[in-house]
């Protein structure tokens, strides 16, 4: 099997299909304390991330929108990963995931356990698709820092 076929299987793993077909936390959050819109003009991918933060802890996280399997799965996995975490830790996770997707595992905190998020690293071999995977995370970051401009991955 060629390298390309290996890379394709690395990217399109069952976890990705599962979260694409049945995205977790896919709903608006009326009680959200933070939210932000994200848009990838190149793909047309569009999403809104909602967060409910209390006492510095992300109690709830959700999203709505539309996009490719990679961006939908990334958003879905993200909402699961950040729930219950302190804001500072979520920000650290954002930085590490961003490093993982754009530069590779060695650029992230060596102590970081990515858990299920590890599947997203397959996107590294597809430069044209990296932005699909990072869109939700940039939008999360914007929601937390109160940036009201739509997040763009362009």
Partner 1 sequence: MNAPRDPGAQTPILDLAADFPILARPVHGRRLAYLDNGATTQKPAAVIEAEARFYRESNANIHRGVHWLSQHATELYDGARATVQRFLNAARADEIVFTRGTTEAINLVAQSWGRPRLAAGDEILLSTMEHHSNIVPWQLVCEQTGAVLKVIPVQDNGELDMEAFEGLLGERTRLLAITHVSNALGTVNPVAAMTRRAHELGALVLVDGAQAVAHQAVDVQAIGCDFYAFSGHKLYGPTGIGALYGRAELLRHMPPWQGGGDMIRTVAFDNTTFAPPPQRFEAGTPNIAGAIALAAAIDYMQGVGLARIHAHEQALLEYGTRALQDIPGVRLVGTAREKAGILSFLVDGIHPHDLGTILDSEGVAIRAGHHCAMPLMTRFGIPGTARASLGLYNGLADLDALVAAIHKAQALFGTRRQA
- By CB under 8 A, name the binding residues for partner 1: 2-5, 7-8, 11-12, 17, 42-46, 66-70, 126, 128-129, 132
Terminal alpha carbon distance of the chain? 33
126-131 long-range contacts, CB within 8 A, separation 24+: 126/7, 126/11, 129/11, 129/68, 129/70, 130/101, 130/102, 131/40, 131/42, 131/43
Q: Which is nearer to partner 1, 48 or 52 (CB)?
A: 48
Q: Which is nearer to partner 1, 93 or 132 (CB)?
A: 132
Q: Give min distance, CB of 49 to partner 1, in A.
A: 18
Q: Give min distance, CB of 14 to partner 1, in A.
A: 10
62: left (phi over 0), alpha (psi -120 to 50) or beta: beta
Q: Which is nearer to partner 1, 45 or 96 (CB)?
A: 45
Q: Which is nearer to partner 1, 5 or 146 (CB)?
A: 5
Strand arrangement of the beta sheet that strand 45-54 belongs to? 57-66, 45-54, 34-40, 151-152
Q: Give min distance, CB of 33 to partner 1, in A.
A: 29
Q: Give min distance, CB of 38 to partner 1, in A.
A: 14
Q: Which is nearer to partner 1, 2 or 149 (CB)?
A: 2
Whose CA is closest to 39, among 70, 74, 79, 66?
66
Q: Give min distance, CB of 68 to partner 1, in A.
A: 4
């Amino acid at each position: 099997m060629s390298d390309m076929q290996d890379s394709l299987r690395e990217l399109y793993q069952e976890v990705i299909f599962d979260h694409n077909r049945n995205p977790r936390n896919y709903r608006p959050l009326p009680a959200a304390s933070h939210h932000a819109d994200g848009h990838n003009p190149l793909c047309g991918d569009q999403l809104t991330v909602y967060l409910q933060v209390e006492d510095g802890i992300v109690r709830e996280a959700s999203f709505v929108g539309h996009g490719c399997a990679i961006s939908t799965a990334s958003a879905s996995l993200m909402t699961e990963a950040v729930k219950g975490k302190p804001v500072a830790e979520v920000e650290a996770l954002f930085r590490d995931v961003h490093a993982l997707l754009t530069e590779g595992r060695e650029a992230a905190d060596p102590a970081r356990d990515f858990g299920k998020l590890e599947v997203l690293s397959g996107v590294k071999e597809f430069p044209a698709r990296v932005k699909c995977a990072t869109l939700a995370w940039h939008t999360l970051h914007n929601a937390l820092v109160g940036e009201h401009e739509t997040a763009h991955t362009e």
